[in-house]
Amino acid sequence: MLILLLVMTGMFTGCTPEPEELLTAPVKIGSLNGPTGIGMVKLLEDPDKYQVTLYQSPDEVVGKIISGEVDVAAVPSNLAAVLYNKLEGDIVLIGVNTLGVLYIVENGETITNISALKGKTIVASGKGGTPEFILNQLLVNAGLDPQKDLTVNWLMNHTDVASTLMAKEGTIAMLPQPFTTIVTEKNPKVRVAVDMNAEWKTSQKMELPMGVLIAQKSFVEDREADLAIFLKDYAASVDFVNSDVKAAASLVSEYGIIPDALIAEKAIPQCNIVFVSAQDGKADLTSFYEIISAMNPKSIGGTMPDENFYFKGIK
């Protein structure tokens, strides 16, 4: 009986769940309604801990950062550097959350590589942001002059690009995920012509860090325990999205990020959703900033971010 009691006590002790880690206050998060939003679906499931708002454009997120209305935000990687310089170091980069998501997509059969864009007109969005700089670098790598060898019609947003691509046969576009999967699923004539992410890794010998997480410096310094819990929960959310795609797709549909769960399920594996710590992602980010700064110093706010930009980890 004593032995049985000890065994049963051990069983029940082993089954006792760990107590939930409590925040001193909810973390206010601004994210984008795309891959970064997809990576946060488990946080959306816990509104008592995380107040996540999904925005359609980076400009909307910027206003919330500058006003201090959010503690953490997901933004394009170059915008993080711009904000660091603009706010004189009052934000901290805490991780990379999205790698390359760009593709050349065609409603036709003429494009097979970047070089084939010579003499063509393409539609795209993201002028002045990472999409434009990435496209220009890949064009230069292919021996093309971005200003002379093709025409880029810059539209207001990815939705406009996707609509144009599906409606007009012969259209060539640059689109990110999940829009790429959405248009190829909805129109069988539309196909992926060039994986720009693979092209970047081949030509630049590095990953393409397109999206990052930033936090208010005051949040990092004054709420370090809350930051540690957030980073742990965010990493778990990313792991869930990448390991249980079907369940994640259902949540992505529920929160309206991609309304169609079947399309979401096909798109998620192509979205390059990751969580890489600031220190582990620093080398690729630094190289990326050097590349785009050489094109236009204003693309990163005029100067390279210093060491204080990169979160050094929980003490």
pLDDT at position 3 is 52
Provide the edge-to-edge strand list for the sheet that holds 72-76. Answer: 50-55, 27-32, 72-76, 211-216, 91-98, 273-277
Instruction: Indicate whether 91 and 109 sit together in one domain.
Output: no
C-alpha distances (whole Å) from 32 to each of 57, 73, 97, 257, 262 are 7, 9, 12, 9, 21
176, 263 contact by CB (below 8 A): no
Instruction: Indicate whether 279 and 247 sit together in one domain.
Output: yes
Count of domains for the chain = 2
For residue 258, tell me if it sits in a domain.
yes
pLDDT at position 20 is 62
For residue 118, tell me if it sits in a domain.
yes
**CATH number of the domain within which 190 lies:** 3.40.190.10
Instruction: Indicate whether 213 and 94 sit together in one domain.
Output: yes
State how beta strands 50-55 and 27-32 pair: parallel
Which of 186, 204, 222 is the C-terminal boundary of a domain? 204
pLDDT at position 129 is 87
Burial of 115 (0-12, 13-18, 19+ CB in 10 A): middle
Instruction: Indicate whether 53 and 95 sit together in one domain.
Output: yes
Q: Is-cis flag, bond preceding 26, omega within 30?
A: no
What is this structure's pTM? Answer: 0.89
Instruction: Indicate whether 277 and 143 sit together in one domain.
Output: no
The CA-based diameter of the chain, rounded to the nearest angstrom, is 87
Instruction: Indicate whether 89 and 107 sit together in one domain.
Output: no
Q: Whole domain around residue 117: which residue ranges?
A: 102-204
Token output for 69: 């209305």
46, 2 contact by CB (below 8 A): no
Residues 143, 147, 150, 152, CA torsion sign: positive
For residue 312, tell me if it sits in a domain.
no
Structure confidence by residue, pLDDT tens digits, 188-216:
999 999 999 999 999 999 999 999 999 99
For residue 309, tell me if it sits in a domain.
no
Q: How many CB atoms lie within 10 A of CB 123?
A: 22
Instruction: Indicate whether 184 and 227 sit together in one domain.
Output: no
Token output for 28: 């206010």
For residue 8, tell me if it sits in a domain.
no
Token output for 248: 């994640």
pLDDT at position 6 is 45
The segments of the chain whose pLDDT lies below 50 read 4-9, 11-13, 15-17
For residue 243, tell me if it sits in a domain.
yes
Instruction: Indicate whether 79 and 218 sit together in one domain.
Output: yes
Instruction: Indicate whether 194 and 218 sit together in one domain.
Output: no
- CA 299, 193, 276 angle in degrees (round to 5)? 45
